Amino acid sequence: MTDTPDHISAKAFMAELERYRKGSVSRRHFLGVTGLGMATTVLGSAMPSLITRPAYAQGSIGDSVVLATWPNYHDPASFDAFTELTGAAVQVNVFGSNEEMLAKLQAGGSGWDVFVPTNYTITTYVDEGLIDPLDLSKIPNYDAASFDERFASPGTVNGMLYAASKDWGTTGMAVNTSQTNGRVLTSWKDFWEITQAEFSGRTTVHDYQLTTIGNALKSFGYSFNSVDPAELAKAEELLLAVKPHLFAITSDYQPPMRSGDAWLAMCWTGDAKQLNKDIPEIQYILGKEGGEIWSDFYAIPKGAPHLDAAYALINFLLDPAINYKEAMFHGQPVADARVNAMMSAEMMADPIIHPAAELLSALEFGAAATLTDPNRAELMARFKSA
């Protein structure tokens, strides 16, 4: 986890500028604290020739690599370190749903080198011929034996490894308990109920069919992965009734939760950990009916323009020391035993990161059928356009 706040006040900025001018802090500290460093990196990466390129031991891998991933999912310092090591600047594209990633790849010419698919989507990518198996000789940091089978196995399809485990987590709800008047939310039923009552206009749901429809289904006790038309119709009825009471339909809900505009969010583990760390009143709850447990992977799309850089980036991020730093930043549990060995006992016992076994046992992994089911896709689109 980082201690850097997501913004800097004008006063703090001037104070930092003064310190930098006086020479009491380094340029690196100044740029980091004020966010100017990030801004310059972004601008600089638009003109790669401006960045000096150190020699990389494994030979030149080019000056850029494109990563498609999820919001708040990587420590920017990891990318800086990668660029320093290899000379390749990391361009990050952020997505809100697996459907969006699949759509980009299906349309062709995504330009991505590495992307981060979720467990249940990988067979579809293989069937559609959109990804290539990983060449393990180029990822020496991947040690199959150290990964928890439960989370790493969806990366293997037809006996070949297509995707390397990044991390795993759950989908629950983040609630700002300073607004609940002591009421404790325990279920998805509560989630939808309070949204239509005291929390009207204060709730966000994912812009993502799997979880938004899935957790509506759960509140009726149906499977998270149901594609049964009658069950989906019930979920749609609920979602349409809730829609006028929502603050937003978005997968990037940290900003409104932090600003206090939103009080309740459908939320992934890492976001919950990041929010809870900075604002302890925001607590993370798993619906008692169940919900989603997931694992994410690194994969390389067919025709990746910078293949060498893609392997270099995956290998770099799977280095246990880097992966540990990443986990400390994004707050998701990691399936790699080598990384977990570095974690403090406190982190391993954190109820947000590692929920109790009986809570986990109620959860379901997403099913491949939900990704391609036309009814779920159209239900989500109708819900959004209603």
Partner 1 sequence: MSPKLINRLLLAPAGLWLLTMLVLPIVVVVVFSFGERAQAGGYVPAFTLEQYLNLPARWKAFQNTLTLAPVGTLIVLLIAYPLAYYLAIKANPKWRTLLLILVIVPFWTSILIRSYAWIFILGGRGIPAILEFFGLEGIRLINTPFAVLAGIVYGYLPLMVFPIYVSLERLDKRLLEASADLGSPPWRSFLQITLPLSLPGVATGCMLVFILLMGEFLIPAMLGGGKVFFVGNALVDLFLQSRNWPFGSAVAVALVLVMLVSVTIYMRAIKRWGNGRDDVSLM
Binding residues for partner 1, per CB under 8 A?
97, 99-100, 102-104, 106-107, 124, 127-128, 201, 204, 207, 209, 243, 246-250, 255-256, 259-261, 371-372, 374, 377-378, 380-382, 384-386
Shortest distance, position 359 Cβ to partner 1, whole Å: 29
Minimum distance of partner 1 from residue 140's CB (angstroms):
34
Alpha-carbon distance of 182 to 199, in angstroms, equals 13
**Residue position matching structure tokens 């039923």:** 189
Distance CA 239, CA 269 (A): 23
Q: How far is the CB of 209 from partner 1 (least distance, A)?
A: 8
Which residue's CB is nearer to partner 1, number 127 or number 237?
127
CA–CA separation, 174 vs 204, rounded Å? 10
Nearer to partner 1, 222 or 247 (CB): 247
Q: Which is nearer to partner 1, 183 or 382 (CB)?
A: 382
- Residue 261 Cβ, how far from partner 1 at the closest point, in Å? 4
If the CB atoms of residues 59 and 374 are measured against partner 1, the closer one turns out to be 374
CB of 382 to partner 1, least distance (A): 6
Nearer to partner 1, 221 or 260 (CB): 260
Rounded to 5 degrees, φ, ψ at 218 are: -60, -35
Q: Helix or strand or coil: residue 36?
A: helix
Q: Going along the chain, which residue ranges are E strands?
A: 64-69, 89-94, 114-115, 156-157, 160-161, 163-176, 203-205, 246-249, 264-268, 282-285, 291-299, 363-364
CA 286 → CA 4, 141, 189, 216, distances in Å?
28, 33, 12, 14
Nearer to partner 1, 150 or 243 (CB): 243
If the CB atoms of residues 263 and 324 are measured against partner 1, the closer one turns out to be: 263
* Shortest Å distance, C-beta 210 to partner 1: 11
Distance (Å, whole) CA 196 – CA 245: 6
Compare residues 28 and 384 and give the one whose CB is closer to partner 1. 384
We find the least distance from the C-beta atom of residue 370 to partner 1, in angstroms, to be 12
Q: How far is the CB of 376 from partner 1 (least distance, A)?
A: 9
Indicate the residue among 186 and 372 with the shorter CB distance to partner 1.
372
Q: Which of 56, 65, 60, 62 is nearest to 301 (CA)?
A: 65
347/149 Cα distance (integer angstroms): 21
Q: What is the dihedral of CA 44, 49, 50, 56, to 10 degrees?
A: 90
Name residues whose C-beta falls within 8 Å of residue 184's C-beta, 6 or more positions apart in sequence: none
Q: Which of 271, 252, 73 is nearest to 175 (CA)?
A: 271
**Cβ of residue 298: shortest distance to partner 1, in angstroms?**
22
- Residue pair 33/26 in contact (Cβ under 8 Å)? The answer is no
